[in-house]
Amino acid sequence: MREVEVVPSAAALVESMRDFGYSLESALADVIDNSITANASNIWICTSSEVSNLKIAIIDDGVGMTYDVMIKAMPPGSRNPRESREKADLGRFGLGLKTASFSQCRKTTVATKSGGENSAACWDLDYVSEKDRWLVKIPEDFNGLPWFDRIKKTGTMVLWENLDRLAGETQTEIDDVAFNRRLSEVAEHLALVFHRFLSPDSGSKKVNIFLNERLIEAFDPFNSKNVSTMRHPEEVLRYNNQEIRVQAFTLPHHGNVSREEWLKFGGTEGYLKNQGFYVYRQKRLIIHGTWFGLLRPTAFTQLTRVRLDIDNSLDANWKIDVKKSSAQLPEEVRRQLKTFAERIENDGKRPFVGRSKTYRADREEISVWGRITSNDKLSYKINPNHPMLIDLEEKLSPDLKSDLNKILEVLGSALPIELIIADFGNDAGKKISGEISDETFVFALRTVVESLFKRGCKEEIIIQLLLDTDPFKEDPSRTREEFLKITKELISE
């Protein structure tokens, strides 16, 4: 069989590559992925003040590239998506830098510093179209590159010039007001997509992103620092020998937050549009506000948001696109998530059903043990939503949270039910009670009271619950005494 090499026209293909569907926000996010992969601590987005001759640069203080490494990175498709990647690598196709840049401008320059060496290469789409060849220009003079002096010892700058797509394909002019509005939209997008880098968990590296010298603050869509947010236990699914971590959050009802906070976490599209799964690939948000067809968006689930973490080795299974802004559930994962979704649908109704002007906690919420009936089987487990566990989880890294949940699962499965039944059977009048130190008793009581108090639960309801729940009901006088001390301190704060 004969072979014939078919070489695509550079002029035609490079123009087609401009239409992958990037917005300004998603294009910038794609370039920032490279900076984070390059171990940058600081990333600066700089724009020229002259909108009529607009330039945008993305600069980082990462490891930079040598000339040879830079040249290897310049061709479209510089990495095979089937190749295994480092855990911290946010790339996939080796296309992102090029397709993102081409989508916004006709001239892209990559300038970098590494090992005391300065290197640069430029894609000029007009030149490629003229020559109909994949030719990059190699600048010899770095003095003419704006913002290049921002890079000190190591780092990389991606410079966009001749931005002809900013205001739409047919409109090349944009005024200052419109451009500033677009920059505000960019800041909001990056604050969400990279919030777990901007405000990382304990033990993870922090990344700063600046937009024209203004530090972008992280936007946590789960409002996880609010005491009224219900954090459900993290669950771990298995797929293709990889872990998928899933954790649901129920955001506070509007009666438990200020109007400003309510509007902030609802976003421009509102709570109905923003409910559902938030899929993260190596902590970078890929897609959000979808139930993947597992649930219908309703008013009852509008406060429910689910964080779902996947590994970059599962890109093909999840059909992650070039822009890293869409994904599809693998069928096996869909089956595993179906039961999970139905369960959190019921939990999501809790802030709305039977609600009064104040938060009404129930005994189930502060009980140490929970009773579960499933398929005619009865089991017991430690309550994952107990205020003491919620408080502890907020102080732990993701790995330690996972270890804690596994320990709790083992403890629940090892409850000596047969031994307890036997003890009661031998002496029906016997009272079984666990010992608890004074220090532990006060710690548990304080944690529960503070949690319920901050969520707006009335004092009389809290004390009623305590006197009906172990271990507090075992010593009602001490419970009342400590409760009065704690509430007095809380009221005075």
Is the separation of the CB atoms in 322 and 284 below 8 Å? no
Beta bridge partners of 310: 281
Q: What confidence tens digit (pLDDT) does each residue in 8-59 have?
A: 888 898 888 888 788 999 999 999 999 999 999 999 999 997 777 889 999 9
Which pLDDT band, with edges at 50, 70 and 90, does 118 fall under? Answer: very high
User: Mean of the pLDDT values across residues 69-92?
Assistant: 64
For residue 312, the one-letter residue type is N
At 433 the pLDDT is: 59
Percent of the chain residues past pLDDT 70, beyond the cut: 85
Q: 10-214, what's its fold?
A: Heat Shock Protein 90 (3.30.565)
Which pLDDT band, with edges at 50, 70 and 90, does 429 fall under? Answer: low
User: Mean of the pLDDT values across residues 265-276?
Assistant: 92
At 80 the pLDDT is: 43
* Terminal Cα distance for the chain, rounded: 84
Look at 192-206, 332-346, 421-435 and tell me which has the smallest mean pLDDT.
421-435
User: Mean of the pLDDT values across residues 87-97?
Assistant: 58
Domain boundaries, the chain: 10-214, 230-355, 374-424+438-492
H or E element at residue 281: strand 276-281
Which pLDDT band, with edges at 50, 70 and 90, does 358 fall under? Answer: low
**Contacting residues for 235 by C-beta, under 8 A, at least 6 apart:** 245, 246, 247, 340, 405
Q: What confidence tens digit (pLDDT) does each residue in 281-339 have?
A: 999 999 999 999 999 888 888 999 999 999 888 788 888 877 677 788 888 899 889 88
**Stronger pLDDT, 349 or 291, i.e. the higher one:** 291
The maximal CA–CA distance of the chain, rounded, in angstroms, is: 96
Of 175, 256, 273, nearest to 221 (Cα)?
A: 273
Phi, psi of 60 (to 5 degrees): -135, 165
Instruction: Scan for tokens 């430690």, then name that residue.
Output: 382
At 372 the pLDDT is: 62
Q: How far is CA 180 from CA 169, 187, 211, 413, in A?
A: 19, 11, 11, 57
Which pLDDT band, with edges at 50, 70 and 90, does 127 fall under? Answer: very high
**Stronger pLDDT, 251 or 177, i.e. the higher one:** 251
At 347 the pLDDT is: 65
* Residue 257: pLDDT over 50: yes
Q: Tell me the two tokens of residue 152.
A: 């000190």
Instruction: Kindly tell me the burial class for residue 62, based on how many C-beta atoms sit within 10 Å of its own C-beta (0-12, 13-18, 19 or more).
Output: buried
The structure's pTM equals 0.70
**Stronger pLDDT, 459 or 82, i.e. the higher one:** 459
* Residue 269: pLDDT over 70: yes
User: Mean of the pLDDT values across residues 193-197?
Assistant: 97
Is the separation of the CB atoms in 115 and 66 below 8 Å? yes
Which pLDDT band, with edges at 50, 70 and 90, does 393 fall under? Answer: confident
At 363 the pLDDT is: 67
Q: Tell me the two tokens of residue 270.
A: 């509102």
Cα atoms found within 13 Å of the Cα of residue 152, Cβ hemisphere only = 5
CATH of domain 230-355: 3.30.230
At 81 the pLDDT is: 47
At 25 the pLDDT is: 94
Q: What confidence tens digit (pLDDT) does each residue in 152-192 have?
A: 999 999 999 999 887 554 445 677 888 889 999 999 999 99
* Residue 93: pLDDT over 50: no
**Stronger pLDDT, 184 or 358, i.e. the higher one:** 184
d(CA 10, CA 126): 11
Cα atoms found within 13 Å of the Cα of residue 460, Cβ hemisphere only = 1
Is the separation of the CB atoms in 482 and 488 below 8 Å? no
Q: How far is CA 209 from CA 138, 152, 198, 206, 275, in A?
A: 28, 17, 7, 10, 27
Share the mean pLDDT of the chain: 83
d(CA 492, CA 488): 6
**Stronger pLDDT, 48 or 93, i.e. the higher one:** 48
Which pLDDT band, with edges at 50, 70 and 90, does 356 fall under? Answer: very low
Residue 443: strand, helix, or coil = helix
At 130 the pLDDT is: 94
User: Mean of the pLDDT values across residues 199-209?
Assistant: 91
Cα atoms found within 13 Å of the Cα of residue 401, Cβ hemisphere only = 22
Percent of the chain residues past pLDDT 90, beyond the cut: 37
Look at 325-339, 366-380, 382-396 and tell me which has the smallest mean pLDDT.
366-380
**Stronger pLDDT, 402 or 209, i.e. the higher one:** 209
